[in-house]
Amino acid sequence: MNKISVIGLGYIGLPTALIFAANGVQVVGTDINVELVNLLKSGRPPFKEKGLDELFNKAIKNGIEFTTEYKRADMYIIAAPTPYIKRNKKLDPEFVLKAIKSVFNVIQNEEILIIESTISPGTIDEFVRPLVKGLKLEKGINVNLVHAPERILPGNMLYELENNSRTIGADSVEIAQIVKSVYSKFCKSEIIITDIKTAEMTKVIENTYRDINIAFANELAKICYQNNLNVYEIIRIANKHPRVNILQPGPGVGGHCISVDPWFLVGNYPDIVNVILAARKVNNEMPEFILSRISAIMKDHNIKDIKRVGLYGLTYKENVDDTRESPTLQILEKLSENLAFGIKTFDPFINHIMVEGQELDFQKFLSEIDILVVLVAHNHIKENIDKIKGKIIFDTRNVINIDGVYKL
């Protein structure tokens, strides 16, 4: 396994390519996006992540190659996007299938083809195997399929790449062992070998489990609000129980994973799922709950102009610059057009205008509002408590410890 080709240099593919290269593997990183490849060639990673710059420099020093072309390798890792089709709650495997077809233009024989992209259970059987079978016949070669899903946490990706256990799903234990030995070049944790469908299922249910637990915390927040109880104190005390681990309520669930993966199970098993679907509904209704709380606070303080309300945070969670499916964007979508235009927003991680009413300067943002709604717990807001004193604050993330702050 001298050379690895990583295809798809996004949130998963890029850190994976870099960490293999930083650990002495010859890596070629391929992406169809010319601007992205040029950015990488100029030595600039496309997103912020703790430790990414150092890893990037190490990979460059070790000769990592970035290109839009597909290059021959001993192992191909596909980390192409797997978008979720809202209409039928299914996964769109097109990007992955296109990448596989392109790999077959350079593949020779017996290489290992690893899919790291999150795919719904059964995707390999339903879409990948038929495609690969045809391509193998056409070229008269064999290729070894593997599914190795990742579980790294945005905001702590590089630490988790090295320290999280991995699942290797393969058709043969021998191939799985080879892949396991390659991943152990950087993975210091347990690498579990299983079959492909089990690997597909475990990845999706891990995120589904988390979504259900967040939904429980959110529903608990609504119950506590009605009873004028402190949901955080109740969770804190309940979690003292040795077998209770309730997560934190928030303004909703964003990101391209937790808010997406459970839908694959809803789409694939509509006659079975109940809890999974109910949790999705609870989390998707949190933006409405936040809006009802904002209007109650405005009434409390006799503030009629939505322009005096500022939403802090556009990303889907703290200390990342990813806004996909963020609760704030969900809230803005639910506001009527003129209200959405009126409300102010600010996010220290977003340095370009992406919504109407967004301020790029924190002081200016604060000068224009009376009510500050904290929707994302960036370190930035915790470091600027002195600047927000005097505002009416609605802290949906329980990170502002000032008297009189509204909480969930």
151 makes contact with ligand SAJ (CB under 6 A): yes
For 37, 303, 330, 393, the CA distances from 252, given in Å and listed in that order, are 34, 25, 8, 18
What are the tokens at 166? 């991995």
Q: How many residues bind ligand SAJ (CB under 6 A)?
A: 20
In the list 206, 219, 285, 370, the residue contacting ligand SAJ (rule: CB under 6 A) is 206
82 makes contact with ligand SAJ (CB under 6 A): no
Distance of CA 258 to the CA centre of its chain: 7
152 makes contact with ligand SAJ (CB under 6 A): yes
Q: How near is the Cβ of 14 to ligand SAJ at its closest, in Å?
A: 13
Q: How near is the Cβ of 253 to ligand SAJ at its closest, in Å?
A: 4
Site for ligand SAJ in 85-144 (CB under 6 A): 118
Q: Which of 199, 203, 241, 235 is nearest to 217 (CA)?
A: 235
Using the rule CB under 6 A, give the single segment among 45-53, 107-115, 219-227, 245-253 that binds ligand SAJ.
Answer: 245-253
Using the rule CB under 6 A, give the single segment among 23-31, 221-229, 246-254, 385-393 that binds ligand SAJ.
Answer: 246-254
What is the b/e burial string over 88-122, where b = at least 16 CB atoms within 10 angstroms of the residue's CB? ebbbebebbbebbebbbeebeeebbbbbbbbbbbe
- Which is closer to ligand SAJ, CB of 154 or CB of 357? 154
Q: How near is the Cβ of 158 to ligand SAJ at its closest, in Å?
A: 13
- Which is closer to ligand SAJ, CB of 132 or CB of 286? 286
Q: How near is the Cβ of 167 to ligand SAJ at its closest, in Å?
A: 12
Sheet holding 144-147, edge to edge: 65-67, 26-30, 3-7, 75-78, 112-115, 144-147, 166-170, 191-194
Using the rule CB under 6 A, give the single segment among 34-42, 58-66, 205-213, 235-243 that binds ligand SAJ.
Answer: 205-213
210 makes contact with ligand SAJ (CB under 6 A): yes
- Which is closer to ligand SAJ, CB of 3 or CB of 380? 380
257 makes contact with ligand SAJ (CB under 6 A): yes
In the list 18, 25, 214, 279, the residue contacting ligand SAJ (rule: CB under 6 A) is 214
In eight-state DSSP terms, residue 358 is B
Using the rule CB under 6 A, give the single segment among 70-78, 79-87, 204-212, 333-341 that binds ligand SAJ.
Answer: 204-212
Residue type, 50: K
| Residue corresponding to tokens 């499916």 | 325
Q: Which helix (H) or strand (E) holds 327?
A: helix 327-334
Cα end-to-end span (Å), the chain: 52
| Residue corresponding to tokens 């006659």 | 271
Site for ligand SAJ in 355-394 (CB under 6 A): none
- Which is closer to ligand SAJ, CB of 28 or CB of 376? 376
Sign of CA dihedral 248, 251, 256, 259: positive
Known catalytic residues?
A: 203, 257
154 makes contact with ligand SAJ (CB under 6 A): yes
Contacts of 344 (CB under 8 A, 6+ apart): 307, 309, 310, 311, 357, 358, 359, 365, 368, 369
User: What is the bridge-based pairing of β-strands 406-407 and 392-395?
Assistant: parallel
Q: How near is the Cβ of 348 to ligand SAJ at its closest, in Å?
A: 16
398 makes contact with ligand SAJ (CB under 6 A): no
254 makes contact with ligand SAJ (CB under 6 A): yes
317 makes contact with ligand SAJ (CB under 6 A): yes
In the list 7, 258, 332, 393, the residue contacting ligand SAJ (rule: CB under 6 A) is 258
**DSSP-derived secondary structure for 121-157:** TTHIIIIIHHHHHHHHHHHT---EEEE------TTSH
Secondary structure class of 229 (helix, strand, coil)? coil
Residues interacting with ligand SAJ, by CB under 6 A? Answer: 118, 150-154, 206-207, 210, 214, 247-248, 250, 253-255, 257-258, 316-317
